[in-house]
Copies of this chain bind each other. A is one copy, B any other.
Amino acid sequence: MDSATTTSVEVSATAFLRRKEGTGAAAETNHAASNGNEVKQETFFRKYRHVAAVHYKARPSTLSHDTQTSPSFVGFRNLMVIVLVVGNLRLVIENMQKYGNLICLTCHDFRHKDVLLGLLLYVLVPCHLFIAYLLELVAAKQARISRSQSVAKGGSASPTKDQQASFQSTWESIRKAHFVNATVALAVNSWVVYFHIHHPLIGTITELHVIIVYMKVMSYALTNRDLRHAYLHPIKGELAAVPEIYASCPYPENITMGNLTYFWWAPTLIYQPVYPRTEKIRWIFVLKRLGETACLSVFIWFCSAQYAAPVLWNSLDKMHSLDLVSIVERLLKLSTISLVIWLAGFFALFQSSLNALAEIMRFGDRSFYDDWWNSAGLGEYWRLWNKPVYQFMKRHIFSPLVARGYKMTTASLIVFFASAVLHELLVGAPTKNFLGVAFMGMLIQIPLIWVTRPLEKMKGPSGKLIGNVIFWVSFTILGQPFAALVYFYAWQAKYGSVSRRMGINEPVMLT
């Protein structure tokens, strides 16, 4: 049917044509042939097409089980992508016909008070880091003195009783001070966000900033405490416990303004006196990453305003009347767009922004995430998707607890509890609704992790596949849109007056 095919039939046919033209090897063979033969050849080749045996051997169909080699299905993978694109293209048209253009640059009524408070907190919040620094400065001075005393006394390897005592007393007061500092940072700022910042977007950004600084303060204090202890107990074993990488900047020397400032801006929540660094800043790389961030932010804002907003608004009355089927329908409709926004947000924050920042800071360790999308279970996901937070929890909560003899399960429970509190704070404060949905959302991870762990361990792909599906469905398809729906509904119930575009951008972007 298509001339590209070359079967015996055609080969002989074309061979015949060649022979007719009297060219090629074939011509040589019968150059002596009489004209009559030529004609016979022709009739022969012309006439005998219709007898060709097409069905010459028994063979099974490609898709039947009798076949030895299973065919490739890569074509169907392509089809899936196409159908996804087409399906959503249709929804785009539908949306356009239904709502027209919902993008509106002037509709955002950022109140002056919100903007001013936001800027003020943006400046004030980091101050807590510097308070922590001053505390450490005092502690360091104190440590230097007691160390020099011990050296003066002949530098006995093990510290004397009164050194121990002085260290203890200092540490007691330093610890209290750190505790007060960190707690104030979190409590006061969250209070301001909850009661005085109306716009959820500004609120969220501020709250996020507060939580980051809070964690940095904690890490700074705890790390320096251990470093100081090693410094004051210069016993072989204990100094060995301090990683080699810190050698270039041993304990008291790291308590400097410069060192802290670097930690302040470094894309990590974990304090180390020394970090792996890169030689130079590749400004092209930085520009590319910033460009990505900008484009993705616009994309997210567009998606939220044009696609997520109507879905959320149409779901309000269904939520109100608790029409379950409709709520599920809304949830599923929301899931696609919230998934898109989530993926874009993840890439914008963890790939583009953090890499840009890391490049500027010449921060070497860029593994802010790993291939969480392949997670065979929830546990794997939480270990891979947000490594800065995971590493903080592991270094400052999980491992110390285990080292103190707690069971690993207990340690995990405590970690997830802490994480749940912070999540609820992050979502609840800006939306003025501590509903506990984010909180429960985190706690529910523990049973899910237990359920999916066997699948992670399972040999062969099937277990991993099931685990991966459970992860996607529970997390992206149901978890996020549900949370978005609930907080949006609660927000609307409280501030129904707020502009449609304002209201929705934020819970969806939180998903």
Contacts and interface: CB of A to CB of B under 8 A. Distances in A.
A81 interface: yes
Contacts of A223: 50-51
Contacts of A84: 80, 83-84, 87
Nearest to A94: B329
A272 B53 contact: yes
A383 B52 CA distance: 18
Interface string A387-428: 001110111101110111100110110011001000000000
A51 to B, nearest CB: 4
A475 to B, nearest CB: 11
Interface string A102-123: 0000000000000000000000
B270 A226 contact: no
A31 interface: no
A501 to B, nearest CB: 24
Interface residues of A, number: 142
Contact of A46 (B270, B403, B449): B403
A45 B405 CA distance: 10
A291 to B, nearest CB: 14
Contact of A50 (B225, B326, B449): B225
A363 B60 CA distance: 10
Contact of A270 (B47, B55, B245, B419): B55
A396 B97 contact: no
B469 A78 contact: yes
A230 interface: yes
Contact of A243 (B56, B405, B456): B56
Nearest to A367: B59
B79 A404 contact: no
A48 B402 contact: no
Given A56-B243, A61-B368, A64-B355, 9 more contacts: A4-B380, A46-B400, A48-B229, A52-B243, A53-B272, A72-B374, A73-B373, A75-B374, A89-B332
8 contacts: A44-B241, A49-B396, A50-B226, A55-B276, A58-B277, A62-B371, A82-B469, A86-B335
